[in-house]
A and B are shown apart, each in its own frame.
Chain A
Amino acid sequence: MKGIKILWIAMVALFITHNSNAQDETALIEKVKQKLDQVHDYVATGRMKTDVAFIKAPVGNVKMYYKQPDNFRLIREGGISILPKGGVTVNLNTIMATKSYVALFAGNTVTDGFPTKIVKLLPINENNAIVLTTLYIDEKNLLIRKAITTTKENGTYQINMQYGRYSNLGLPDKVIFTFNTHDYKIPKGVTLEMDEPLTDTDRKKMQQKNGRVEIDYASYTINKGLPPGIFNN
């Protein structure tokens, strides 16, 4: 009987601890959100580098448009942008735009040299495109250093962020997206090309299943409005 009592007390304590932790992380998320909410819209310029095993793309100048709550568009200046499906648009602001969620504490770690808290963000709405997001939050500076997002249709994305000039607004200077890719192969009879022998480097590259898109932000124009219809295309 005494044993059962102890077990009950332990379970209640665990529940209270667990619940209070979840509450704490919701507060932390809200604080981060408040920081990000200072930015209603922005136009950013930068350079984008695509590193996918089967894509040969040059580095290009890009322009990014954001408007609250979750409108985002990236345009390559004077060219075509190749973006991972749903990937780059899954940026911090769109992740944080999720209104109803459960935030669970999942431990502490060091990310890019900064002590961070790991928080699991679970959207309550079943129809949300994002299934789960793991945030690595620098509690001291209220900055998200890393986010791993699992989506319903487009796999898992990892977003690493480096901050500098705009850290007071939670806007990164550099973003690295890592994502999964599918296989790529087109029959020679379709492309009508000459045969090229496969080198070891080619074979290694073809086995690489992850792609990366790096964006170095050069400037932000914050809360100055956006060109009309920019999100229509």
Chain B
Amino acid sequence: MSALTEIYVDNVTRHLPEDSRPDIAAEITATIDDMVDARLSEDAAASPDHTAAVEREVLEELGDPAALSREYSNSPQHLIGPNSYPLYIWALRWVLPIVGLLTVLTNVVTTIALSPEAQIGEIIGKSVGNTVIALLTTFAAITIIIALGDHGLDGGAAAAMRRRQPGTWTVDDLDRRDSRGRQIRAEAGLGLVFIITLATIPFIPTSLFYVGHLNNGETFINPDLGVGWLVGYWAVLALMAAVEIIKFTTASAKPAVALIGGIVDVAMAVFLTIALLTQPVLHPELTNTGNADFQQIITVIAIWFITVWDQVSTWRIHRRNRR
């Protein structure tokens, strides 16, 4: 597959559901190769320049990759379509004023009934606040209901065979940025933010989460926990961060890097399991109940559940990308 075909296929598949991408990419690639071969077989003098020109011709015949992608996804890329738009506008025009009026009346009546000495300012404040919430909720509900109905009304195979404007797209319009690389970078960036957050956990005071009264605003972690455990925790986090930095800088997730990442994740799970099962890791005043051991065991189960889930999903993505 040439670089140009690869970019074209990437442009088509980048907006499709991840599980369908490899299959569609393989099919489009085979098609492009078949079409190019068929045209070249008609021509005895197939120089590299001519081959490139034929490839361009084939890609331009296939047309705008965004349009092809829409044909594949077969889903409307609008929230409210022309079929439902009149109903939507009608619903907004009639339902919103009715809801607004009813909410104002209900609020005025209930405020006066419940507080006979209510000030006019209190009545206006309560009524306006609750009416705004009611109107926003109604607007959201109408939009979601009609959007769902609109998408359910979409036609079948023949109806979906909409044609795009021909001749308006050329190979020069291709987005040559590597979408997979960008995705890997974004995931690695998020991973780094997550790791930094994990690294700060030993310093986070409980008062930040409105549970400061339980241990006088101290940290979530047991202050008597040995320094060695904390250093070990940060060391494993540093390894995890190194893996994410490699993914970020290379914009690729090679099997070796993914394997090392998996090993480091499991090492962290083992480390946390040992730490949690051998001593009170959480602040004793936060777990000062008869169920403290049970809480630690639940935490260990949760850690392993997340680790196994992460490994399985990573392995599935790699297996899919290998196809």
A binds B: no
Interface, chain A (partner B; CB < 8 A): none
Interface, chain B (partner A; CB < 8 A): none
